[in-house]
Amino acid sequence: MTKRLSISMFVDACGWEVIRSRPWFLNDLTYRRRVKSVFGYSSACVPAILTGKLPNENGHWSTFFYSPATSPFRPLRALGALPSSIVDRGRIRSALSKALAKAYGYTGYFQIYNIPFDTLQRFDYTEKRDIFQPGGISDSESIFDYLTERSIRYHVSDWRCPDDHNFDSLRRAICSGRTQFAFMYTAHLDAVLHDFGKESPQVDKLLGAYHTKVQDILRLAEGHYDEVRFALFSDHGMCTVTRLVNLMPRIEQSGMKVGIDYTAIFDSTMLRFWFHTPRAEHQIRTILSDGNDGSWVTEADHRREGTYWGDSRFGNGIYLLNPGVLLCPSHMGTKPLAGMHGYSTEHADSYSSLICNYTPDVEASSITDYYRLMREQADWAASSETETNIPTVVPLRDYRKVSLPR
């Protein structure tokens, strides 16, 4: 009986343009592809990877969707009367987020950011369950459901943990000799790219560390298994920020009232509106005209990208900033960043990268194809064993919880 292991390593923000100028990165792995991402942030990209479906098929796009009737944030309305100098501090918001997640039993990534409390009460939250566990995706089966249903023994790293911990847990899973499929998630590169930009020596340093660790992992795996397949992929890349814009005052000083004329969420690269009156829609679309700052996303754009919902839960008017333009301040934060993602999927910096030590049968053209690639990997690893297997997830109970950007 041949022992096989498949490893899928998900490196957040390791886009094609990030590695294209660094041909030394995993240069012994010759299968390399540029792959189109999906429109949105990681809250859209990651579920698309895990399910193989576009956002309007799996139910996940932005973390916040308009639903006043089901909003779990209505008890926070009273906090809106407190000075913003207190309630908008990062530590206060982080503490509130942790308290709410615990109170409601949320296991997924949860953060209320700097969204005003009088706005927050009109929204519900998408990622209430851990999407890296079976049953974590709202409207679709994920790779973890697939593995569990087929009794494929797997290991999955914990997205709450630092990279070093997750590499250690992967090594333990390999040394056990029982794992057939391993899913490794790393988030640190995304943080470095946001802080320093894709040309920074800090990126070279981190990718150099990943290069060494992957080589060590593969050598370790080859010592415990007869055959090893490895695939590294990302959700998106990172665009260099060239200009900051402060568009929020244009809307807030227009005389229109939140909750009466319109409701809005101001993300880092897009302004999402729910228009409550035709006059408000006309006025806002006039204030934010197509031009140097950005342009309005059309219904045709949404249908093409798989982000169209007939009930407009994620916005019935979205103003997308041009690549390199960052909304600052926004509801996501007040700190200028060196790099950002969440722009047009056609921009070079939006593309994902795929690197393998073998040639997959799946020809990936979109990050949704990574789901089929992982299924192929898992089925290949499990096909050499005929006994009935019990799915095994390596327990991760000794980690130190940290807050990582998504």
pLDDT tens digits, 16-36: 999 999 999 999 999 999 999
The residue-averaged pLDDT of 354-379 equals: 98
Give the pLDDT confidence score for residue 392 in this predicted structure.
43
The residue-averaged pLDDT of 302-310 equals: 97
C-alpha dist (Å) from residue 331 to 24, 201, 247, 298, 334: 38, 30, 12, 23, 8
pLDDT confidence bin for 90, thresholds 50/70/90: confident
Asked if the 242-336 domain carries CATH number 3.30.1360.110, the reply is yes
DSSP 353-366: EEEESS--SS--SB
Domain boundaries, the chain: 4-53+140-239+347-382, 60-121, 242-336
Query: Comparing 72-76, 259-263, 337-341, which segment has the lowest mean pLDDT?
Result: 72-76
pLDDT confidence bin for 73, thresholds 50/70/90: very high
Interatomic CA distance for residues 366 and 53, integer angstroms: 10
Choose among 378, 377, 373: nearest CA to 391.
378
- CATH number, domain 4-53+140-239+347-382, options 3.20.10.10, 2.30.30.40, 3.40.720.10, 3.40.50.300: 3.40.720.10
Interatomic CA distance for residues 142 and 51, integer angstroms: 4
Tens digits of residue pLDDT in 192-233: 999 999 999 999 999 999 999 999 999 999 999 999 999 999
Query: Comparing 75-79, 167-171, 356-360, which segment has the lowest mean pLDDT?
Result: 75-79
C-alpha dist (Å) from residue 329 to 91, 185, 239, 248: 17, 30, 18, 8
Query: Comparing 46-50, 79-83, 299-303, which segment has the lowest mean pLDDT?
Result: 79-83
Query: Comparing 63-72, 308-317, 354-363, 378-387, which segment has the lowest mean pLDDT?
Result: 378-387
Q: How many CB atoms lie within 10 A of CB 289?
A: 12
The residue-averaged pLDDT of 253-264 equals: 95
The residue-averaged pLDDT of 300-304 equals: 98
Interatomic CA distance for residues 377 and 370, integer angstroms: 10
Give the pLDDT confidence score for residue 80 in this predicted structure.
66
Interatomic CA distance for residues 327 and 226, integer angstroms: 51
Average pLDDT, the chain: 92
Q: Specify the DSSP class assigned to residue 193.
A: H
The reported pTM is 0.92
Given a cut of 90, whether residue 386 has pLDDT beyond it is no
Give the pLDDT confidence score for residue 31 in this predicted structure.
97
C-alpha dist (Å) from residue 213 to 9, 43, 137, 154, 310: 12, 27, 30, 20, 46
Give the pLDDT confidence score for residue 393 in this predicted structure.
43
Give the pLDDT confidence score for residue 387 in this predicted structure.
45
pLDDT confidence bin for 89, thresholds 50/70/90: confident
